[in-house]
A and B are shown apart, each in its own frame.
Chain A
Amino acid sequence: AQKVTQAQTEISVVEKEDVTLDCVYETRDTTYYLFWYKQPPSGELVFLIRRNSFDEQNEISGRYSWNFQKSTSSFNFTITASQVVDSAVYFCALNELTGGGNKLTFGTGTQLKVEL
């Protein structure tokens, strides 16, 4: 069975600090996709990034960066120079390709609080 672990339940930082959110996954599939979503207080999940299992290049998008390491089954997310608007719950998710569809297995989420 697939599994996603986000061991950090809650992280608090002061604005402008860098913060890394950890994600470790388990799957027997050789082809899979990993996602990060942000859930602000309004409730809807906002897509941040998708990464397939064959692309281990790290990615940077503005203050956000992602480190995918297949050898350790990890897909960590770093926010550089955090801002109060980054406060949200962040979910890592794994796509289950078997059986069709884009079904996602989610981690339990990390609540990030950025304070002034």
Chain B
Amino acid sequence: DGGITQSPKYLFRKEGQNVTLSCEQNLNHDAMYWYRQDPGQGLRLIYYSQIVNDFQKGDIAEGYSVSREKKESFPLTVTSAQKNPTAFYLCASTSDRGVTEAFFGQGTRLTVV
């Protein structure tokens, strides 16, 4: 079945550590996105990539980094510079054919301990 797989589902991070969230898609989509969801704030765009080896900052990119070495993969690293990383992170993808709906993964819940 085609879709987006995020792992892990739950992640715990100690203060000062970097952690990487995985996002893989087998939909052959060109564009991929990372959103952050906080209670009462909806989803906010962190980074997006429209093509391999290229990505752009979204609205809240500070403290995060990404890479896009393969079409299928768009990992997100939450660095120690991110002051409030506890949140629910959602990865999404869209095809490149005009304006289409985004397909979402099941998310990763990151907690700082």
Chain A interface residues (CB < 8 Å from chain B) = 4, 6, 9, 33, 35, 37, 42-47, 50, 52, 91, 95, 97, 99-104, 106-109
Contact = CB atoms under 8 A, between A and B. Distances in A.
Interface in B21-58: 31, 33, 35, 40-45, 48, 50, 56, 58
Nearest to B100: A102
Contacts of A47: 101-103
A71 B99 CA distance: 23
Contacts of B31: 101-102
Nearest to A99: B56
B78 interface: no
B90 interface: yes
Nearest to B107: A43
A91 B42 contact: yes
A104 to B, nearest CB: 7
A55 B58 CA distance: 29
Nearest to B99: A33
Given A6-B42, A37-B104, A108-B40, 8 more contacts: A4-B42, A42-B106, A44-B107, A47-B102, A91-B42, A103-B58, A104-B45, A108-B42
